[in-house]
Amino acid sequence: MTVSRDDLLKELGLWPLWRRRDGVVTAAAVDAVEHDNPPPVTQAVMAPAGAAIGPALLPAAAASVLPLDARIAEVAGMDWHQCRQSVAGCVACPLHAGREKTVFGVGDEKAEWMFVGEAPGADEDVKGEPFVGQAGRLLDNMLAAINLRRDRNVYIANVVKCRPPGNRNPEPLEVAQCEPYLHRQIELIRPKLIIALGKVAAVNLLKREASVSSMRGKVHAYRGTPMIVTYHPAYLLRSLPEKARAWEDLCFAVETMKALQSAAVAPT
């Protein structure tokens, strides 16, 4: 049975709120990309000067963890298989101690679309796949509403690959240690557009504090790749009014992608 987009939106309780607005993202609009290229992550970003990653932070395997600069260089040279293997055995931050499974990422490795969340939750930790459970179903339906699927022209990953205890936000040290994997995934995929899902993902990618509402509706750049910010599906489950705004964001993303595909502008 074929399910229409309107059927999906009705099922989600989003219809008729979720309506596409008329309007096209012009080359000029995308030209206004904010160049938020973050500085390369260094040891200084993740810890105060002189605060080495030592046994107190990494009791199980401190000896096997490379200094961050060396880690960044090592991960930057990995292929998909090496990157997956490295994540599966990673003990570079304290999150390794509480995980059930690492959550590497899922989807099309040649995708034009990349969706990035903050960290695995309980369901993801058990399954080893990002965005499963209720929030995952909502994300899948959001994708379907713009004719996308997680296994076709879409790749989904998180900023950190192991579940923070109690679903707390990842700490700066954890993000700094895990970010080389996300960088490598992005380099291997070379998506045309990144969608940051939620404040934690957006703030960690853009390296500046801001609200989702202030970051929406603009084309940012993450290390040269255009990036749009919208709400995290888990937040949308709790907040009906934001669903309409998330739909606006997806429509904005679709129009931005069209502009990028037509090569009206090149990402800088």
Contacts to ligand SF4 by CB under 6 A: 87, 90-93, 95-96, 102, 160-162, 174, 177-178
Task: In whole angstroms, give the CA distance from residue 25 to residue 248.
Answer: 12
Instruction: Compare residues 174 and 249 and give the one whose CB is closer to ligand SF4.
Output: 174
The one-letter code for the residue type at 253 is A
What is residue 98's DSSP assignment? Answer: G
Least Å distance between CB 233 and ligand SF4?
21
Residue indicated by tokens 């034009």? 112
Nearest to 172 by CA among 103, 95, 111: 95
Continuous segment of H or E residues that includes residue 242? helix 240-261
- CB atoms under 10 Å from CB of 45, counted, come to 16
- Beta-bridge mates of residue 152: 149
- CB atoms under 10 Å from CB of 132, counted, come to 21
Instruction: Compare residues 124 and 242 and give the one whose CB is closer to ligand SF4.
Output: 124
Instruction: Compare residues 93 and 148 and give the one whose CB is closer to ligand SF4.
Output: 93
Instruction: Compare residues 23 and 54 and give the one whose CB is closer to ligand SF4.
Output: 54
Least Å distance between CB 160 and ligand SF4?
4
Least Å distance between CB 170 and ligand SF4?
7
Nearest to 121 by CA among 240, 239, 212, 234: 234
Least Å distance between CB 9 and ligand SF4?
35
Token readout for 198 is 């939620």
Instruction: Compare residues 153 and 204 and give the one whose CB is closer to ligand SF4.
Output: 204
Task: In whole angstroms, give the CA distance from residue 54 to residue 34.
Answer: 37
Is the CA virtual torsion 240, 227, 256, 23 positive or negative?
positive
Question: Omega before 16 cis (within 30°)?
Answer: yes
Least Å distance between CB 104 and ligand SF4?
9
- Beta-bridge mates of residue 197: 230
Least Å distance between CB 181 and ligand SF4?
6
Task: In whole angstroms, give the CA distance from residue 221 to residue 76.
Answer: 20
Instruction: Compare residues 23 and 165 and give the one whose CB is closer to ligand SF4.
Output: 165
Instruction: Compare residues 92 and 156 and give the one whose CB is closer to ligand SF4.
Output: 92
Least Å distance between CB 120 and ligand SF4?
9
